[in-house]
Amino acid sequence: MSIAKMDDVFFKNMLFCLLLLFPYQSTSLPLCTNLRAPMASKNPLDFCPYNGTVCCTSSEDSQIEKNFQNMNISDPTCSSIVKSVICATCDKFSAELYKISSPSPRSVPVLCESSASAVKLSSLATPGNRKFCSSVWDACQNSLIANSPFAPSLQNTAGVSQNSSASKLTDLWQSKDDFCRAFGAPLADDSLCYSGKPIELNKTETIPPSGMCLEKIGDGTYLNMVAHPDGSNRAFFATQAGKVFLATIPDQDSGQALGLDESSPFVDLSDQVHLDTNFGLFGLAFHPNFSQNGRFFASFNCDKVTNPGCFGRCACNSDVGCDPSKLGAPASSQPCQFHTIVSEYTANGTEAAPSMAQHAKPTEVRRIFSMGLPYKSTAGGQLLFGPQDGYLYLMMGDGGPKGDPLNFSQNKKSLLGKIMRLDVDNIPSKQETADLHSWGNYSTPRDNPYADDKELAPEIWALGLRNPWRCSFDSERPSYFICGDVGQDTYEEVDIITKGGNYGWRVYEGPLVFTSQPASGSNTSADSIEPILPVAGYTHSEVNKKTGSASISGGYVYRSKTDPCMYGSYLYGDLYGENIWAALENPIDSGKFSAQNITFGCAQDTPMSCASAAKGPLPALGYVFSSGQDNNKDVFILTSSGVYRIVRPSRCNYSCSKETPTTNAKPTPPAPSHTQHIRPHLVPALFLSLLLLLLEVPY
């Protein structure tokens, strides 16, 4: 059979990935060759020896079997070994094995053929055959293989052999060394290779931190913190009302507070922001080249009744088969009266260089995105620039009300309950924007998931979210894009976001089937989707047995050197401030996490007192609204009682064998226990109701 007539799904997938290369650097996060997350298979594949979490559907497994049969390999030893090689595309680490993210994806996986120092054997549970490439050569050097995937022309391409005739390895390569230089080596120290068996990773000994030590460095209440793009010790803090401040971050152990002047904001957008129970400024992002171009972006809500500049298409539109006039939502008397918008601003012209600007212009440069909201809750709105691709990510909630009654999150044409990925560097013309029927001034990256799922709106990167409340990229492994997604009745979840991933809502709430689906809207059955389950989370009853109230606030993978025992942990908390978790990945690079509720205390040499004179049932943090990370990778917690920073564990008398003694550190008395942190600052009832209602938490 000629290759032109072969419906070769296996090689087509790899060729497609060559054309649509994902710009992230190579990592070991489980990803398939189409750069989507592996699927949890209900049954083992029939042909390829994979089960559990896999990268092949049953139809793809059948196609691989067909391709294998067409190779017509007569020698049983060679036949068995080639079968294992071509089945590696079903491995949950196939994107890494095939080097899909590199400039030259491979036709077969990287075959193990090197010394132990050149293979990531420390992470392999069963290293198998370290000279597997030699084994392939020895078994197949004199065997005829039709459409051989080992042809030299395929060495660095995800393509198909142009010669359908049968050939031996000795016909294609001069020697074993040449063959294994092409298909087995060289390898970086942190690379995976294929040894003839599915990749499994060793569990490593992980010791959770004994406690997290905090210092209070600011009194203000902020929802956003963004490190200054110039790499300095400065950061931007934004309030829900729309004011953005530029602050100086004090050095660790300096005893100083946050350098922030609330009388002099960097920019004041409060005239444009509609502040209400569920609305305000929820996203702030600075262009990766801000120091040169001065561009920054804000995501907030506006009211078209009071603000003539508030306009846009309604999220309940004909694209999703929705009539806004028939919503009848009690939470909104005028559907799409309120909008989520993303606007671009500039600090250019205020100083000689944008990085030196102390103030920016509050005048909108460009409306990037605008969408009318059908309801008045769970609207999301966080903004992030991808650290490797430079695209703008916009997190959108399902829009409410309870239960996502119109099933927006599962509707592939709706932008509600989604994470979007936009290109704001290639702005189309007004005519192009109108022709594309887009929601604003942006273009769509060509490798967004719609390229291989024509049902999906082109802006969408991931779907099935309820209310993603604080997402972040791991600064060391940018493919780890982690979000906290606010639950409804039962479960708060932590998700690793991947291309085209469906995270289940409203069919699932975390790992649980959501049984309270309302009758309105189009229902989605649990069997009709392949949800990506959370890597961590907690039930409402775990954190609040009396009321069952909970609301997750996502955080960061801790990469600072300040607390070496916290290093590598994903930190997240609950709104009510009584619980903070450290989720550790084990095995490393597996995408599998185990979380532990950790003790936290305040250093008694903190620049500002962590204690409060007010009596009450809450710890001194009050309510945990958000978090931030500065250019030193130190992590900050933004709460109703102020701004807190993670500091050396010894300042709270927590033990950490990895901590280096600091000679100029002040001796500290014993830290108070977690149970002593029960005196929060008094917070105006209006402000608390704003955030509690925003996250749909009983108050």
Q: What is the pLDDT of residues 521-565, one digit of tens each?
A: 678 888 889 899 999 999 999 888 777 789 999 999 999 999 999
Pick from 503, 487, 482: which is nearest to 583 by CA? 482
Distance CA 644, CA 215 (A): 5
The answer to whether 545 and 553 are in contact (CB under 8 A) is no
Q: What angle do CA 472, 474, 480 make, to 5 degrees?
A: 90
pLDDT confidence of residue 513: 92
- For residue 21, the Cα-to-chain-centroid distance in whole angstroms is 19
Residue 340: predicted pLDDT: 97
> How far is 172 from 166, CA to CA, in rounded Å?
11
| Torsion sign across C-alpha atoms 550, 282, 680, 210 | positive
Phi, psi of 136 (to 5 degrees): -60, -45
- Give Dmax over CA atoms of the chain in angstroms: 84
Element (H, E) at 642: strand 642-647
* Paired sense of beta strands 313-314 and 295-303, if any: unpaired
Supply 75's token pair.
């020698």
pLDDT at res. 21: 34
The pLDDT score that the predictor gives to residue 417 is 98
Q: Are 585 and 603 in contact (CB under 8 A)?
A: no
Contact status, residue 221 vs residue 239, Cβ threshold 8 Å: yes
Paired residues of 463 in beta bridges: 418, 502
Strand partners, 301: 340
**Residue 556 host element (H or E):** strand 552-557
CA dist 162 and 153 (Å) reads: 8
Query: Which DSSP state fits 551?
Result: -
The rounded distance, in Å, linking the Cα atoms of 327 and 376 is 12
Q: How far is CA 74 from CA 69, 137, 145, in A?
A: 10, 16, 8
Cβ distance 462 to 395 under 8 Å?
Answer: no
Alpha-carbon distance of 260 to 280, in angstroms, equals 21
| Total-model pTM | 0.87
Q: Is 507 left (phi over 0), alpha (psi -120 to 50) or beta?
A: alpha
Residues 521, 320: Cα–Cα separation, whole Å: 10
pLDDT value for 121: 46
Which residues have CB under 8 Å from 163's CB, separation 6+? Answer: 147, 151
Find the length of the chain: 699
Place of tokens 């940018």: 478
387 backbone dihedrals φ, ψ, rounded to 5°: -70, -20
Alpha-carbon Rg for the chain, nearest whole angstrom, is 27
In this structure, what token pair is assigned to residue 244? 């953005």
Concatenated DSSP letters for 242-284?
SEEEEEEPPPTTS-PPPB--TTS-SEE-TTT---SSS-SEEEE
Helix (H, G, I), strand (E, B) or coil at 167: strand
pLDDT in tens, 585-600: 999 889 999 999 999 9
- Strands 212-218 and 600-602, by their bridges, are parallel
Nearest-angstrom CA–CA distance, 415 and 462: 10
Let me know if 271 is exposed, middle or buried by CB neighbors in 10 A (0-12, 13-18, 19+).
exposed
Q: CATH number of the domain at 212-694, please?
A: 2.120.10.30
Contact 102, 33 (CB under 8 A): no
Cβ pair 596, 602 in contact under 8 A: no
Distances (CA, A) of 496 to 50, 87, 282, 499, 526: 23, 26, 21, 10, 20
| 619 neighbors 599 (Cβ within 8 angstroms) | no
Instruction: Report the distance separating Cα 418 and Cα 461, nearest Å.
Output: 7
Residue linked to tokens 């500002």: 608
Domain residue spans of the chain: 3-183, 212-694
Q: Note the pLDDT of residue 438.
A: 84
Q: What is the pLDDT of residue 500?
A: 96
Q: What is the spatial distance between Cα 684 and Cα 678, in angstroms, rounded to a whole number?
A: 18
Please, is 126 exposed, middle or buried when counting C-beta atoms within 10 Å of its C-beta (0-12, 13-18, 19+)?
exposed
Blockwise average pLDDT, block size 10, the chain, 699 residues: 37 35 52 92 90 93 96 96 97 93 87 61 55 94 94 59 74 93 70 88 78 95 97 98 98 97 97 94 98 97 94 91 75 78 92 90 96 91 97 96 92 97 92 75 95 92 98 96 96 97 96 76 84 96 82 97 96 94 93 93 90 52 95 97 96 91 52 34 43 48
Residue 501 sits at the vertex; the CA angle it makes with 497 and 503, to the nearest 5 degrees, is 80
Tokens 């959770």 label which residue? 208
* Per-residue three-class SS string for 380-398: EEEEEECCCCCCEEEEECC
